[in-house]
Amino acid sequence: MKIDFKINGKPTSIDVDPAMPLLWVVRDELKLTATKFGCGMAMCGACTLHIDGEATRSCSVPVESIAGKNITTLEGLSESAENLHPIQQAWIEEQVPQCGYCQSGFMMAAAKLLEEKPNPSDDDIKNGITNICRCGTHPRIIKAIKRAAEINNQNH
């Protein structure tokens, strides 16, 4: 089935099995590999991306459901490598990543959280993001999200 949608602002058309999970379309068909496979059951959040601005676990979304929609992956979160999204800037400032594998999903979830709560409290962050990290970067994730909020506030 032919499905049209936009990914990172770019109109895209693919012809695949409509039941194919969006994660594999993004990774294997479109070769955008920032979005990771972690569990395939929407439990870990490594595959989080945005569909029409909503943070979504793409491993459990059939591609047919995104026809006509706007997809944003980590590759499309910032305008350019020189002009990073506040979340990415904060992630560098606070030195969040260790192995780095889960971080794309965390950053996409965090970017959405900041849109909804421009000045999140610790509890907002703790209860708002349920992604899994095994290296234990959690304390820095909380710091970085608060730092990103500051960057946002300075920019506005």
Partner 1 sequence: MSTEKKSFSRRKFLQRGAIVFGGTVVASYLGCSPLRRFTAQKAESMDLPAMMSSLQPDFWFEVLPDNTISLKSPKIEIGQGVFTGLAMLAAEELDVPYEQIKVEHANTKSGLIDEMNTGGSSSTASLYEPIREVAATMREMLKEAAAKKWGVKASEINTENGTLLSGNNKITYAEIAKENKNWDIPKTPKLRPKSAFKVVGKSVKRTDLKAKVMGTAKYTLDSELPDMLYAVLLQSPYLDGTIKTLDTKEAEKSTGVVKVVREGELVAVVAKTFYAADSAFKKINVEWNTPNKVQQADLIKFVTVGNGKEVNIQKEGNAKSIIEDNKATVFKQEYRTPMAAHAQMEVNAAIAHVEADKALIIAGTQGPKIVIDTVSKALNLDKDKIEVQTPLVGGGFGRKAVKGLYVEAALISKAVGKPVKLYNSRQQEFQNSLYRPNTHHVLQAKIGQNGEIEAITHDQATPDMLKNLMGTGLPNKILGADFISAGHGASLMYNFKNKSVSVWNAEVPIPIGIWRGVGMFPNAFAIESFMNELAHQTKKDPIAFRIGLLQNDDKISVRSKKVLETLIEKSGWKTPKAEGIGRGVAIGNDRKSIAATAIELAIVEEKIVVKKVTQVLDCGISINPEGIKQQMEGATMMGIGAALYEEATVKDGQIEQAYFSQYPMVSLTDVPEIQCFILEGDDIPYGVGEPPLAPIAPAIAGAVLDLTGKAIRSLPIKLS
**Under the rule (CB under 8 A), what is the footprint of partner 1?**
16-17, 20-21, 24, 27-29, 33-41, 43-44, 46, 73-75, 78, 81, 84, 88, 91-92, 95-104, 107, 122, 125-127, 129-130, 132-142
Q: What angle do CA 30, 1, 29 make, to 5 degrees?
A: 10
Alpha-carbon distance values, 116 to 73, 85, 106 (Å): 18, 16, 15
CB of 154 vs partner 1, minimal distance in Å: 19
Closest to partner 1 by CB, 5 or 141: 141
Q: Among residues 28, 59, 26, which one has the least CA distance to residue 131?
A: 59
Query: What is the 8-class DSSP label of residue 12?
Result: E
CB of 69 vs partner 1, minimal distance in Å: 20
CB of 9 vs partner 1, minimal distance in Å: 16
